[in-house]
Amino acid sequence: MNTITERESILSEFANAEYLVLGAHVNGETYPGTARSYLADGRGVAWQAPERDGLTYAIDAEIADQPVSAMLGRRARSMDPAVVWPLWTGCEAAAKALDLPVLSWLNWPGLRLPDEIATKVTLHWEQLDDILVCYGVASTA
C-alpha cells in the first residue's frame, strides 16, 4: 500500500512545470493517459508524470486572478481569488484523483477537504505565470 510519504515523494519530484504542457492544443486526443484540466480561456493543461502502480494522479488549474462568482464566493466564504482558487483546485484535484462524482464536493463546508478525504490524497499547489495548478496523488489500494 502506498503511504503519504510515497505520495509526497511523487509530488516533490514530478509536480512542476517540467512535467506540464499548457496550450490550446491540449486535450484527451493530444495527451491521452495524462491528468488534464481546462482553463476558462480555452487552454488545456496536461500533467505528464510517470505512472506508478497503486497511485492515481489528477490536476486542476485555474487562471489565478480571474473573478470569483457570487455563488462560488458564498461556498468558499470569500470573494478573494487568492483564497478561493486554491480551495477550488484542491477540491477538484482530490475529487478527480479519488474518482468521486463530478462536483460532488461542492457542499464540503468552506470548500475544505473533509478529513476522510484528506487522508486519501496528497495535494501540491504551484503558481505558473497566470495559472494556479493543484496536483493530486491518491493511493488506489
Domain ranges of the chain: 4-139
Q: What is the pLDDT of residues 59-96, one digit of tens each?
A: 999 999 999 999 999 999 999 999 999 999 999 999 99
Question: Cell numbers 505528464 correspond to what residue?
Answer: 48
1 — pLDDT class (breaks 50, 70, 90): very low
Quote the cell numbers at residue 4.
Answer: 503519504
Q: What is the pLDDT of residues 114-126, one digit of tens each?
A: 999 999 999 999 9
Quote the cell numbers at residue 76.
Answer: 468558499
pLDDT for 2 equals 58
Q: Report which residue type is found at 50.
A: P
Q: Point out which residues pair with 69 in neighbouring strands.
A: none
Q: What is the pLDDT of residues 21-51, one digit of tens each?
A: 999 999 999 999 999 999 999 999 999 999 9
DSSP state of 70: H
Q: What's the chain's length in residues?
A: 141
